[in-house]
Amino acid sequence: MAVESKVEQMKTEFSESMEFIAALCSANVAMGDVLTSFDHELEQISAQNFSLRRTIQESYARERTRDRTIETLTTKITELQRSMDEVSGKP
């Protein structure tokens, strides 16, 4: 009888262990799904950051071009004003 009792106890412990292992496997699969989802989100964020950086760089380039254009036009206006002053006899 003691042997049968011990065998039943071992069966119960084995069954509980298998249930625990199954729960761990399920948790592992769920964690893998979560990590895959995080990876996908991080890839999207990285792509958006790259796009934003490129947009900002293009904006800075347009700003520099605009500033150079303003400087060029200011210089030309100053030169034209000086030429007009010379023609009209102003000092």
Per-residue pLDDT of 37-88, as tens digits, reads 999 999 999 999 999 999 999 999 999 999 999 999 999 999 999 999 988 8
Q: Is there a contact between 85 and 91 (Cβ–Cβ < 8 Å)?
A: yes
Per-residue pLDDT of 13-36, as tens digits, reads 999 999 999 999 999 999 999 999
Helix (H) or strand (E) holding 91: none
Q: How far apart are CA 44 and CA 34, in angstroms?
A: 15
- The structure's pTM equals 0.58
